[in-house]
Structure 1
C-alpha cells in the first residue's frame, strides 16, 4: 500500500475513535504553533484496529508536541498541561515544546515538530497528527506509515546509533505482549 492509502486508513481509524478525535479538538483549541499529537496515541489506535480489539488500549500519556522557539521554558509546558487537565481532567496529557527537546536528547536543534520526530527511536512511534481548522487531519510521518501498519518496530537512524536505549525501550514497552503480531528489528 502507498502512504496516501495508509494515510486515508489512519484517518478512518482516528475518526472512528471518539477519544482521539476529541483529544485532537481540545489541543487544537490551544492554537499552539506547529502542534500535533503523536506516539502511542496513534500507534495504539492503529494496532488495536489491526488486531481486531473491540476495546481501546489505554495510553500512558497523550504526547502533545509543538514547536515554539520563542518560548522554550519547561514551565510553559507545565502550564499547558494544566490547561488541558482543566478542559479534560481524565486524560493523561504530556506537553513538550520540541524547540527545546534537542538539549535533553543531545541532538542538534530541531527545525520543526516533524523534524523532531526524525530523532525518535522507533519508526511506528514517529507518527503524529493534527487537526486543522477545517477538521482535516494532517499526518506527520518522517519514516512513512508502512511500519506502523505492518506492526513492525524498526530502529530509526537515531535508534541505530542509540542501540542500548532502543533495546531498553523495546524491553520496557512489551508491545508484543499486548499485540502479539508485532515484530521487532534489533539494530
Structure 2
C-alpha cells in the first residue's frame, strides 16, 4: 500500500472520495468567509486509509469552520447548519465561527480560521480542506506528518505543562481512537 507523504497525495485521497467531495461542494455553496471542513472529516479518512478499512468510520459531526468578525453571534452558526441540512439532511453538521471560539477556548482572539485550527487540541485534528472553484486546498498549521503517520500528539497550546494539557489528555482518552484505529501512536 502506498503511504501518503504530501499534501498533493492527501488531496488525491480526498478527491477520490465521492462522499467527501459532496460535502465540500455543499459547504462551498454557502460561500462562508475563510471556511474549511476540518478535524475528524479528514483525520478519520486518513486513519481509515492507513488501517485499510473497507468502510468509512462514521463521524459524530462534520466540522465546518469559518471566520467572520462582523457577525460573531452563535445564531449565525445555527442558521448555516440549517442551510447545510437543507442540502444534505442526513449529515451531522457542526458550524463554528473562529472569530468567537477564542472565548470558548480561553485564549487570545484568533486571526483567521487557520489560526483557530492551530489551537485545536491534537495535531492530526488541526487540519482543514476546502473546495474553491473546483480546486482542493489543504490547511495544516502543524503540517500533515502526524496525521499521515498515525501519530496523536498535542498542539503547542495543549502541550504537557500547559494549563490546557488535561483537556487534551481527557479528549484523547474519551475518544478511544486506539480501539477504532489500533495502529495509532498516542503521546500524552
With normalisation by structure 1, the TM-score equals: 0.95
* 2: CA distance, partners of 1:94 / 1:167: 23
Once the two structures are TM-superposed, the CA of residue 99 in structure 1 deviates from its matched residue by 0.4
Q: Which residue of 1 aligns with 2:137?
A: 138
Q: Gaps (5+ residues) in structure 1?
A: none
Once the two structures are TM-superposed, the CA of residue 159 in structure 1 deviates from its matched residue by 1.3
- Residues 4-39 of structure 1, C-alpha deviation per residue, up to 9 Å, x if partnerless? 952011111111211111000000000000000000
Paired residue secondary structure (2:119):
coil
Q: Residue 67 of structure 2 contacts residue 99 of structure 2 at CA under 8 Å; is this kept in 1?
A: yes
* 2: CA distance, partners of 1:86 / 1:30: 12
Q: Residue 99 of structure 2 contacts residue 112 of structure 2 at CA under 8 Å; is this kept in 1?
A: yes
Q: Which residue of 2 aligns with 1:15?
A: 15
Aligned ranges for residues 118-157 of structure 1 at < 5 Å?
118-133=118-133, 135-157=134-156
Paired residue secondary structure (2:32):
coil
Q: Gaps (5+ residues) in structure 2?
A: none
Q: What's the RMSD between the two structures over aligned residues?
A: 1.1
With normalisation by structure 2, the TM-score equals: 0.95
Paired residue secondary structure (2:6):
helix
Q: Which residue of 1 aligns with 2:56?
A: 56
Q: Which residue of 2 aligns with 1:88?
A: 88
1:33 aligned onto 2:33: yes
Q: How many residues align?
A: 182
1:177 aligned onto 2:179: yes
Once the two structures are TM-superposed, the CA of residue 43 in structure 1 deviates from its matched residue by 0.3
Once the two structures are TM-superposed, the CA of residue 145 in structure 1 deviates from its matched residue by 0.2
Q: Which residue of 1 aligns with 2:165?
A: 163
Q: Which residue of 2 aligns with 1:99?
A: 99
* 1: CA distance, partners of 2:92 / 2:128: 17
| Farther-moved stretch of structure 1 (4-13 vs 47-56) | 4-13
* 2: CA distance, partners of 1:121 / 1:5: 23
